[in-house]
Amino acid sequence: MPLVLWAAASPANAELAARVAGLTSSGCHATSTCLPVPGSPHTRENRPRRSTMQVRSWSRSAGHDLTSACRPTDLDRGATRMTANQFDHLDPGLAPVMNEVFAAFRSNCPVAHSDRHGGFWSAFSHGAVRSTALDTRGFSSAAGIAIPPVTQDVVMAPMQYDPPEHAAFRAIIQKHFTRAAVAKHEAALRELVGRRLSALAAEGGADLVSEFAAVIPPIAFAEVMGLPHEDAQLFVSWTNELFAAAVMGDLAGQQRTFGIIASYLQTEIDRQRRAGADTVTTAIADGRLDGDGRALTQGEQLGMILLLVLAGHETTVAGIATMLYCLATVDGLREKVVERPDLIGKMVDESLRFESPVIGIARTVGQDAELAGQSLHAGERVLMVLSSANRDPEVFDRPDEFVCPRDRNPHLTFGTGVHRCVGEHLSLLEMRVVAEEVLRLVPDFTLVEGHRPRWVPGRLVRSLDSLPVTFER
């Protein structure tokens, strides 16, 4: 019998109910929002087969009703209303009630349209997300994977290419990210994690987000790239600068940072070549595209490296932090995996399903199509809401429960099809090693009394802002 572990979230107190009521089309102006307190899981009602059908399934514990239809959908909460065409995945007010809102959309309208950000569709059901991800001809990545789009001067390969170009770029780095290849870095990662935990334990406490989870992925990136570990934070700083410039549309600022990165990488490439190293860095530097056999341009090299930083840093930080939060708070989980360390891999997998680090990824409709009964037209944008797909009751038994072990867990956190995350095995290795070392060195860590972890609002990464703990001496 699997151990059923509860960590479901729903608006169950007056404070959170007020936030739900305040989640209007304009959003709330709070700088941060509280993680929902544990409560009753969402109760799924019958899914309508036509968009005109209406049901009521908003959080009854908060005293609110949901009245929905596909276009528009009304979220009726007394004095305030939000329609589907006002849905904004970046609304800061969404963070504390995200899973409830997504459950409502799944039940009533698995594919819905919003007028925000120039207009886009959202796919909420597992089936709609999966079919969109698998159909690379009908749904393209070439126009960007974010809504709203960001201004960028390089294309991040292979993610922002469609087949067959996608396969040519991916083949250059694929061998370095197989399960066997990343396993070669396990000893170095374990030593790093153990050393960091020992130092924090000696202090008696730490913020497991800023002082631990945020430290590991950059060094793991440096390890597989063959870069000096002490340079890991340079790429974090550079990508932050690039993102800020992209949001502002500052192409000149991007060019300056690209120049700095290119200069650094050329020095590293020369050093690694002299040493005869076989790393991701040298693979990209020496890579040639299948078909025409040409070498990568400097822009293509930068795009591939930046993708590895962006895709592997914040998402893994978020995944580690959420996993540690579940270990700290979910009744019986820690004791279960201490007793059964063979379940750590399944615990990691369930954590990634339960709170996907990536909320959603975008595609562009390549040709007119129908998705879950909705007519989509060429050129329209679609957000694949991974977080929602991972809690679809059509696929997952008891989706709002943290179940360990969960025997069938086809979550979409890493995507599916040709665009499935190339760094999946590295991320899983990092999270497994972290879990094993935490349970070995500081198994009795506890959250600081009175602290309420908060989801960072208004972002596509589902991440906790802090996780202060104390260590039992």
Distance CA 93, CA 98 (A): 9
Cβ(332)–Cβ(392) below 8 Å: no
DSSP state of 379: T
Please determine, for residue 367, whether its predicted confidence score (pLDDT) is greater than 50. yes
Please determine, for residue 36, whether its predicted confidence score (pLDDT) is greater than 50. no
Instruction: Select, from the ranges 72-81, 237-246, 449-458, the one with the highest average predicted confidence (pLDDT).
Output: 449-458
Cβ(283)–Cβ(228) below 8 Å: no
* Residues with Cβ within 8 Å of residue 369, at least 6 apart in sequence: 135, 138, 139, 375, 376
3-state SS assignment for residue 194: helix
* Least confidently predicted of 79-93, 120-134, 338-352, 438-452: 79-93
> Residue 147: what are its φ and ψ, rounded to 5°?
-125, 120
Please determine, for residue 17, whether its predicted confidence score (pLDDT) is greater than 60. no
The reported pLDDT for the residue numbered 291 is: 67
To the nearest whole number, what is the mean pLDDT of the chain? 83
Who wins on pLDDT, 469 or 245?
A: 469
CATH code of the domain covering residue 340: 1.10.630.10
The reported pLDDT for the residue numbered 88 is: 95
Distance CA 178, CA 13 (A): 46
Q: Which helix (H) or strand (E) holds 375?
A: strand 374-376
The reported pLDDT for the residue numbered 40 is: 29
Cβ(349)–Cβ(413) below 8 Å: no
Please determine, for residue 99, whether its predicted confidence score (pLDDT) is greater than 50. yes
3-state SS assignment for residue 447: strand
Per-residue 3-state assignment (H helix, E strand, C coil) for 372-418: CCEEECCCCEEEEEHHHHCCCCCCCCCCCCEEECCCCCCCCCCCCHH
Distance CA 171, CA 137 (A): 20
DSSP bridge pairs for 81:
76
CA dihedral (28, 29, 32, 37) positive or negative: negative
DSSP state of 330: S
pLDDT in tens, 111-124: 999 999 999 999 99
The closest of 407, 420, 417, 211 to 317, measured between CA atoms, is: 211
Please determine, for residue 6, whether its predicted confidence score (pLDDT) is greater than 80. no
Distance CA 296, CA 298 (A): 6
- Classify the phi-psi angles of 54: left when phi > 0, otherwise alpha if psi is within -120 to 50, otherwise beta: beta
**What pTM was estimated for this model as a whole?**
0.84
pLDDT in tens, 186-235: 999 999 999 999 999 999 999 999 999 999 999 999 999 999 999 999 98
What is the rounded average pLDDT of the residues 320-338? Answer: 97
The reported pLDDT for the residue numbered 194 is: 98
pLDDT band at 333 (very low <50, low <70, confident <90, very high): very high
3-state SS assignment for residue 360: strand
Q: How many domains does the chain have?
A: 1
pLDDT in tens, 274-319: 999 999 999 999 999 976 789 999 889 989 998 998 888 999 999 9
- Domain ranges, residue 448: 3-470
pLDDT band at 69 (very low <50, low <70, confident <90, very high): very low
Strands 468-470 and 446-447: antiparallel
pLDDT in tens, 158-181: 999 999 999 999 999 999 999 999
Distance CA 29, CA 82 (A): 16
Cβ(442)–Cβ(471) below 8 Å: yes
What is the rounded average pLDDT of the residues 19-34? Answer: 31
